[in-house]
Every structure is written in C-alpha cells, then in structure tokens.
Amino acid sequence: MSYNTIELEHLESGISLLKLDRAEKLNAINVSMFKELSDAIERIDGDDSTVVVIVVGEGGSFSSGLDFYDLFSYMKSNQDFNLWEHIKFMQDTFLSIFNSEKIYIAAIDGYCVGAGLDLASACDLRIATKKAKFSIAETKLGVVADLGVLQHLSRILNEQIVKYWAYTSSVFSSDEAYSAGLLLKVCDSKEELMEVSKSLALKIASNPYKTVSNTKKVINHSLYNSLEESLRFAGRMNLEVDGRELLKRFETGLKS
C-alpha cells in the first residue's frame, strides 16, 4: 500500500524504516498521517520479517506536533465528527507502538514537540542529534497532553523533571533530555544518528525474536503493575522457551 504522509521501507536483516513525510509542515501529524500510521503499524505487526522499526522524520525535524489547523478543518467539514472518539483513535495509534511486539527506535533530529514527543515516548529507545529540541508544548496551547507522554515519561524519568517540562512547556535540548534519561545517545549529525540507529537495530535483531519481544512485554508490564505480578508475568514468558534451543545457545555461548 502506498501512503501520502509517511513512508514504510524494509531495510535489511529484520529492520524497517518508518518515515514521517510532511517535511514542508515540519512533519506535523494531521488526520491523514494518524490514519496511515495506524495502518502501517498494523502491517508491521503482521510482518514476520521485521524485528526493529526505526522511526524518523523527513527533512530537518522529527515532528512539530499535532496539525491543529488540519484537525479543525476536518472537524468543520465532517458533521458527524466525534472529538472523543478521535482522541481515543489517536491514543490507540501511539499505544499500538508501545504494545507492539516489534522494537521501535525513535531517531530524532530537529523539533520533537507536542504529539511528536508523544510518539517518541511510545517508542522503546530514543536517539537524537545535538540540534534536536523537545517540548511538552500542549500546556502552552491550553490543552492537556493526552497521547501518552505524561504517562510514559512519569514512569521512566524523575517525576519533578516531567512536571517541570509539562507545567512550563519549556523547550529543552538533547543534552538536557539525555541527562534526564529520555535519550540513549546524542549524535553529532543526522548521518551519525542513522548509523547508530541501524547498528543498534542490527544488534537487537541478532537475538532470538521471541525472546526480544517477550522481554519488551515484561519491561512494559513492569511499568504499570506490581512487582509480584511482574515477576509472575516474566516467568510465564519463559514457559514458552524451547528447551533444546536454549541448551544449544548455552553450549554455543560456553565455546565462544
């Protein structure tokens, strides 16, 4: 299937590239992009050849956030438009990344604000260039950030940092994001960003796919459940392990 606002490309050895492609709008996410992202994520989930997805923005920005002009225009032109149902649809689109068995890496250059940061926070790993800029911009616009950034970041970062970013809608740098724990690495250029992202993706894809996806499930489950339940959940994942395959890998590891 061809898309108008995104590109989906299989690169190599279990890696796919998901590109936001509205460079003229700094990759602002409009209604069409949400629909195409939802479709692409569903396709990726059903693609056995993909283990890791690298999410990037075309041009000089990851995403400048929600395209409110497009949304308001869409609301006016559709008499049966239901805002609550649309909010849930947008939430579910990003939630499908968090819940996916695939590993998502956000490769961030330029602006990553508003819904762009919501998208990045739903990904498993985040890498950025030095010129990347971040902001929970919704507060300044008069709306509560409701697409996941508050929930995800408040569980993986210091609570005060998240509150400060959200209460003030401050723009913060890659170095600040890295220091806070939002980013895995900061790169000097977009070229290095893609090299590092692909290298990391290949390293992840070299491990047994089922184990990687189950490890993601366990980590994400642990963020929102009790310690005891998370331990039980992790244990149940290993009931699926092929004992003969495990022994083979163990013996190979001893010899290396």
Interval 30-47 mean pLDDT: 97
- What CATH number is associated with residue 155? 3.90.226.10
Residue 249 confidence (pLDDT): 60
Residue 23 confidence (pLDDT): 97
Tally of residues, the chain? 256
Residue 136 has pLDDT above 90, yes or no: yes
The larger pLDDT score, comparing residue 249 to residue 58, is at 58
Separation CA 132–CA 191 (nearest Å): 14
Query: In which band, very low, low, confident or very high, does the pLDDT at 113 lie, cut at 50, 70 and 90?
Result: very high
**Is residue 94 packed enough to be buried (19+ CB in 10 Å), middle (13-18) or exposed (0-12)?**
buried
Residue 256 has pLDDT above 50, yes or no: no
Kindly report the CA angle at 113 between 1 and 220, in degrees rounded to 5?
70
Pairing of strands 111-113, 133-135: parallel
Residue 57 · residue 109 · CB < 8 Å:
yes
Residue 27 has pLDDT above 50, yes or no: yes
Indicate if 63 and 137 belong to the same structural domain.
yes
Residue 197 · residue 127 · CB < 8 Å:
yes
Give the total number of structural domains in the chain: 2
Residue 16 has pLDDT above 70, yes or no: yes
Asked if the structure places residue 51 within a domain, the reply is yes
Query: In which band, very low, low, confident or very high, does the pLDDT at 142 lie, cut at 50, 70 and 90?
Result: very high
Indicate if 225 and 160 belong to the same structural domain.
no
Query: In which band, very low, low, confident or very high, does the pLDDT at 2 lie, cut at 50, 70 and 90?
Result: confident
Q: Which of 60, 31, 81 is nearest to 193 (CA)?
A: 60
Residue 255 confidence (pLDDT): 53
Indicate if 197 and 225 belong to the same structural domain.
no
Residue 116 · residue 27 · CB < 8 Å:
yes
* Residue 23 Cα to chain centre, angstroms: 19
Asked if the structure places residue 240 within a domain, the reply is yes
Residue-wise pLDDT tens digits, 156-173: 999 999 999 999 999 999
Asked if the structure places residue 1 within a domain, the reply is no
Residue numbers of the domain that contains 222: 209-255
DSSP states of 34-78: HHHHHHHHHHHHT-TT-SEEEEEESTT-SB--B-HHHHHHHHHH-
Residue 28 has pLDDT above 60, yes or no: yes
Indicate if 201 and 221 belong to the same structural domain.
no
Q: Which two tokens stand for residue 254?
A: 């001893």
- Around Cβ 59, how many Cβ atoms within 10 Å? 16
Residue 248 has pLDDT above 80, yes or no: no
Asked if the structure places residue 69 within a domain, the reply is yes
Residue 232 confidence (pLDDT): 87
Q: Which of 110, 96, 118, 101 is nearest to 182 (CA)?
A: 118
Residue-wise pLDDT tens digits, 186-239: 999 999 999 999 999 999 999 999 999 999 999 999 988 888 988 888 888 777
Residue-wise pLDDT tens digits, 77-102: 988 899 999 999 999 999 999 999 99
Indicate if 112 and 222 belong to the same structural domain.
no
Indicate if 144 and 160 belong to the same structural domain.
yes
Separation CA 62–CA 20 (nearest Å): 7
Residue 135 confidence (pLDDT): 98
Residue 143 · residue 94 · CB < 8 Å:
no
